[in-house]
Amino acid sequence: MQKTKIIIVDDHQLFREGVKRILDYENSFEVVAEGNDGSEVLALYEEFNPDVVLMDINMPRMNGVEATEILIEKHPEAKIIMLSIHDDGSYVTHALKTGALGYMLKEMDAEAIVEAIKVVSVGGSYLHPKVTHNLVGEFRRLSEREHKGAFHQNEIRLPYHLLTKRECEVLQLLTDGQSNRTIGETLFISEKTVKNHVSSILQKMGVNDRTQAVVSAIKNGWVEVK
């Protein structure tokens, strides 16, 4: 079985070691190199040709956004997940515009980072659930600026032609930035059932991941932007 090759770039050695220990438990993953600054990313990428780069957004000499811009310019196929302590929507928007496919908070649990790598390695995008909610907030802020006034959302049209009532509820909670676990607690269903609903939503909407589902739902007016 071919393993997913990963590079970790972060100036905090203890954090790198912690992430590496998590990834070493996955038989399908292999951490092929580590770096401690964004200035090292291009050379590491060209030497090890990884499938995914995990990179801190804040580093002393060259930050993750600058490094992503340089790497994507030279290697547009590079798949980068940004690691950050910042959940502000403006940080996320900047990182994604630069070319990152994922944005994870450093408070992430092991399951989340594993899922993010699996999604991004096949070309999907992945945002930490808390970040998704704040990105929606950034969407509101930009919309208010564009319209020079209060953001007004048209009447919500729930997509009952496409999704079941329960799937519509799950889609709204995804937009609110809730994780599978908290969605299960909110709807009084198991986390496994939530995962099944999410998989069904993605298939029916014709999207690859949760982030694309949320963006599409907002554009179509299927969810409330809170």
Strand partners, 104: 83
For the chain, percent of residues with pLDDT exceeding 90:
49
Residue 152 pLDDT > 60? no
Quote the pLDDT of residue 200. Answer: 93
Quote the pLDDT of residue 158. Answer: 85
- Round to whole Å and give the CA distance between 91 and 222: 26
- Which residue has better confidence, 193 or 221? 193
Whether the CA torsion 72, 78, 81, 84 is positive or negative: it is negative
Residue 220 pLDDT > 60? yes
For the chain, percent of residues with pLDDT exceeding 70:
89
Q: Could you tell me the pLDDT band of residue 114, with boundaries at 50, 70 and 90? A: very high
CB 222 within 8 A of CB 165: no
- Round to whole Å and give the CA distance between 181 and 198: 12
- Round to whole Å and give the CA distance between 114 and 104: 11
Mean pLDDT of the chain: 86
Quote the pLDDT of residue 154. Answer: 60
Say which range, 18-22, 148-152, 188-192, has the weakest mean pLDDT.
148-152
Q: Could you tell me the pLDDT band of residue 144, with boundaries at 50, 70 and 90? A: low
Mean pLDDT of 35-49: 94
